[in-house]
Amino acid sequence: MDIDLSVTSVRDANAALRALPAGASARLASPAGRHNLAVGLTEAITVEIDGTAGYYAGGLGRDATVLVRGTAGWGAGENLMSGLVRVDGDASQSLGSCAHGGTVVVHGSASLRAGISLKGGTVLVAGDVGDHCGFMAQAGTILIGGDAGRGLGDSLYEAVIYVAGKIRDLGADARIEELAEADVELVARLAKQHGFDHIDPENVTRVASARQLYHWGTP
Amino acid sequence: MCGITALQLRDADLRPRLGELMAAMMAQVAERGPDSAGITIYPDVRVLKGVGHPAALAAEWRLREMAGTQAVAHTRMATESAITAAHCHPFVVGDGLSLVHNGSFANHATIRRELLARGVPFDSDNDSEVAARFLAYRMAEGDGLEKALRLLCERFDGFYTLAVQTPDAFAVVRDVIACKPAIIAETAGWVAMASEYRALAVLPGIAAARVYEPEPEEVYLWTST
Amino acid sequence: MSSDSSFDGIRERARLGRYPIRGGGARRAVPAFDDLTFLTASASRYPLEGYREACATRTVLGAANARDPVVLEIPITIAGMSFGALSAPAKEALGRAASEVGTATTTGDGGMTPEERMSSKTLVYQCLPSRYGFNPDDLRAADAIEVVLGQGAKPGGGGMLMGQKLGPRVAAMRTLPEGIDQRSACRHPDWTGPDDLRIKIEELREATDWRVPVFVKIGATRVYHDVRLAATAGADVVVVDGMQGGTGATQDVFIEHTGIPTLAAVRLAADALADFPDVKLIVSGGVRSGADVAKALALGADAVSVGMAALVALGCNDTVHDFGPASYAELGTTAGGCTACHTGGCPVGIATQSPALQARLDPVRGAERVANYLRAITMETTMLARACGKADVHHLEPEDLVALTVEAAAMARVPLAGTEWIPGR
């Protein structure tokens, strides 16, 4: 199914996508940065956004595959439950925010707060990430192929961040930990799966919670 | 709260189309600021402001017919001050400095009092005007635009994405937490900044542009040619 | 010079090395609905017969944008309180009570439990900054969505749940390690400000096929601006929670020193919505009686929400319970003397995750008490409305009220009783 967003509203386009059965595929042409494309999908369909998406592309999705051929705005793949949101270009702020499951992959770079409040999903960025990546991330995995900005992993809970490049600085309660064999295996598997050939799984930095903010004394 | 669009044309052949391009950009961020809108067009520092939907205002101003070197515009969703033309951005002060702001300052009342004590006049009770007046004041004291913007980052608390133009320059800066959106695109023919990509998508040659987001508290400055 | 209680505060901080935390709402006396009185009918106006002539209470929310608006039989809903802050039987009881009287209840910071979904005919699903347990399946199972920017007990602050209450089920729902002291975010992770909220609201509408209304809840501070902005961003309903609003746990300094009284907030919110006739207003924070409900409606609310009052109806602080003095001593409290909602040691099984304490609350019997309470205050509301000559509680207006104090007159912008004087006018 082909939908031309220069003549079809986002509301009608999303309604058409939600009507598709599992296994179907659709292409959204002329996205031109429109918001809320392919949000709230519930079936294992494939949606190709043929250009640049605005806010929340593929957000609140379950089982679907959403491919953004250009760049993506704020909150791409936000609150994803399962499935895949892939961005060929760069992603803006709050990439994969609150994702409970599934995978959010960016082949370019991502700006601030990638993986904020992550709740179990996997967020992968081939390039660099901006400040506050992994802020309050609760569970899941963040893999960064390039450099990380300021305040990496601030107030982390149980999510784990791997960084292949440099880290500008760590946020409160984040610490660098020894890389275990299981970490190397996980990073190698993710890098292979998503074509992040530039990552050497033996040479990434593991960042996790120091767990010093978990308790502050109770009356 | 608002939508920002700004454009500096390097390619002289595009200059007759400045108004047309700005009108198209503003239409894309109209929903971010449906109350009112304003624009400054250089080199003449022509300021147009009005209350109403940005698209209707652009038509009323015959913006599409206007030529120029650069422009900065704003569509406004008023936060704490009134919806009147006087409260519209850009705030144009000093030697043709225009400022537009998306966000909300947290200590502007004190800075306003400091500036008033130094004899700086104000036209409105808008928080964004304080930033414009602060920059003009610093520049009157001898600072360049870049330094003045750095001082603004030191002195102002709160959330802001700012686009500033003077007759010779165009600058963008945002606060350290960077909660309001901003995106920049550059080609050999132009440099543009907007709140959302969709406003940049209307520009000629966008597919080949270098598109990036400004880093927090980093001043981006382009001089006019 | 200073009172003993301020010395106690110093000692507590000296001992803890941090801020004191507690549950409940503001304890200080602030101007409230009690400071107003109705000018009921007499010779110039005629009353309706209290027991025979009808007075409508039906309230419809979100009819402009949503395919399925929320229809309430009474203008009183149950406010958002989380499973986590409250026990599962408490949430179930609130749902049962609300359903029985034809109104809505609301989830909280921690997601939706199957018990509350099943027991609630109309359930409002909150979208909070933490997004704990927030998912598209429950979103689509909801009858309305409430985007929470803040609450009256702690406007500008995030939620809090102490480790004693983060038991296995609560922790799993929130994807948090069991037993940690949880501090929620104060800003949403993927938008800040009304221009971006507009896009977020559109996303939630898309994900629910534009079926249900979207509420936006704010803590009462800069009410006029915030309500206007929520409406401009696309809210169907704005919920304004005043400073008397309660909480399961937060910093004492927040509870007592932030926000404005509900009395002042209603009028500002109603003014803000003057240009938005389709946007409805719900007011909460310290609503206890039918008089409070009627006064809130008269000042411009379309409905009110009760939180703490519903818990008290459920059995909170009730001396009729007799679990034995030893049981109370063990929990560090006394019968009827407890506001330690944050410790998890709730003696009546409401604000706890302890299986033994939860077992003290029978959701069916608890629901009967809450339903009784909601019926009683609805009767009081209609009684006052009829006495003012109104065939619909929504026909109450500010002109039906006068103030007993200068402060209340100024805040509610109604005349001081016996005068035509509204301070500031």
pLDDT at A219: 39
Asked if pLDDT for residue C402 goes beyond 50, the answer is: yes
Query: Could you give the 3-state DSSP secondary structure of residue C73?
Result: coil
Q: How far apart are the first and last CA of chain C?
A: 38
Q: For the segment C195-228, what is each residue's pLDDT rounded down to a tens digit?
A: 999 999 999 999 999 999 999 999 999 999 999 9
Picking from C176, C199, C209, the nearest residue to A157 by CB comes out as C176
Mark yes or no for CB contact B159/C192 under 8 Å.
yes
Alpha-carbon gap, residue C261 to C280, rounded angstroms: 20
Contact C420, C327 (CB under 8 A): no
Query: Kind of pairing, strands C247-251 and C21-24?
Result: antiparallel
C173–chain A Cβ distance below 8 A for any pair: no
Q: What is the mean pLDDT of chain A?
A: 97
Residues of chain A contacting C203 with CB distance shorter than 8 Å: 35-36, 39-40, 55-56, 59-60
Mark yes or no for CB contact B212/A90 under 8 Å.
yes
Q: Which of residues 96-125 of A touch C (CB under 8 A)?
A: 97-98, 100, 113, 116-117, 119-120
Asked if pLDDT for residue C131 goes beyond 60, the answer is: yes
> Is C366 exposed, middle or buried, given 0-12, 13-18 or 19+ CB atoms closer than 10 A?
buried
Tell me, yes or no, if the pTM score tops 0.80: yes
Domains of chain C in start order, with CATH, are 22-412 (3.20.20.70)
The mean per-residue pLDDT over the stretch A181-206 comes to 98
Residues of chain B contacting C232 with CB distance shorter than 8 Å: 34-35, 77
The mean per-residue pLDDT over the stretch B196-223 comes to 96
Asked if pLDDT for residue A42 goes beyond 90, the answer is: yes
Residues of chain C contacting A33 with CB distance shorter than 8 Å: none
Mark yes or no for CB contact A219/C190 under 8 Å.
no
CA B110 and chain centroid, separation: 23
Number of domains in chain B: 1
Quick check: bond before B90 cis, omega within 30? Answer: yes
| pLDDT bracket for residue A208 (50, 70, 90) | very high
Q: Which of B170-174, B194-198, B213-217, C2-6 has the lowest mean pLDDT?
A: C2-6
Half-sphere exposure of residue B209: CA atoms within 13 angstroms, side-chain side = 25
Mark yes or no for CB contact C194/B79 under 8 Å.
yes
Alpha-carbon gap, residue C214 to C239, rounded angstroms: 11
pLDDT at C24: 85
Mark yes or no for CB contact A33/B28 under 8 Å.
yes
The count of residues in chain B is 225
Picking from B77, B180, B195, the nearest residue to C229 by CB comes out as B77
The mean per-residue pLDDT over the stretch A183-203 comes to 98
pLDDT at C5: 74
Q: For the segment C23-65, what is each residue's pLDDT rounded down to a tens digit?
A: 888 888 999 999 999 999 999 999 999 878 999 999 999 998 9
Residues of B with CB under 8 A from a CB of C: 1-3, 31-35, 77-80, 102-104, 159, 179-181, 195
Q: What CATH number has the domain bearing residue B116?
A: 3.60.20.10
Residues of B forming the active site: 2
Asked if pLDDT for residue A5 goes beyond 80, the answer is: yes
Asked if pLDDT for residue C280 goes beyond 50, the answer is: yes
CA-based angle C353:C359:C362, to the nearest 5? 115
Q: Retrieve residue A180's tokens.
A: 């275990």
CA C421 and chain centroid, separation: 32
Alpha-carbon gap, residue C417 to C419, rounded angstroms: 6
> Is C20 exposed, middle or buried, given 0-12, 13-18 or 19+ CB atoms closer than 10 A?
middle
Q: What is the DSSP letter of A180?
A: P
ipTM, 2 dp: 0.97
pLDDT at C1: 45
Range of the domain at B106: 3-223
Q: Which residues contact A19 (CB under 8 A, 6 or more apart)?
A: none
Asked if pLDDT for residue C320 goes beyond 70, the answer is: no
Mark yes or no for CB contact C229/B34 under 8 Å.
no
Asked if pLDDT for residue C350 goes beyond 50, the answer is: yes
Residues of chain A contacting B198 with CB distance shorter than 8 Å: 32-34, 54
Distances in Å between the alpha carbon of C10 and those of A217, C6, C18, C318? 18, 6, 11, 30
Helix (H), strand (E) at residue B153:
helix B145-155
Mark yes or no for CB contact C192/B179 under 8 Å.
yes
Q: Nearest-CA distance from C8 to chain A in Å?
A: 15
Q: Nearest-CA distance from A36 to chain B in Å?
A: 13
The mean per-residue pLDDT over the stretch A110-136 comes to 98
The mean per-residue pLDDT over the stretch B59-64 comes to 97
Q: Which of residues 157-216 of A touch B (CB under 8 A)?
A: none
Q: What is the DSSP letter of A9?
A: -
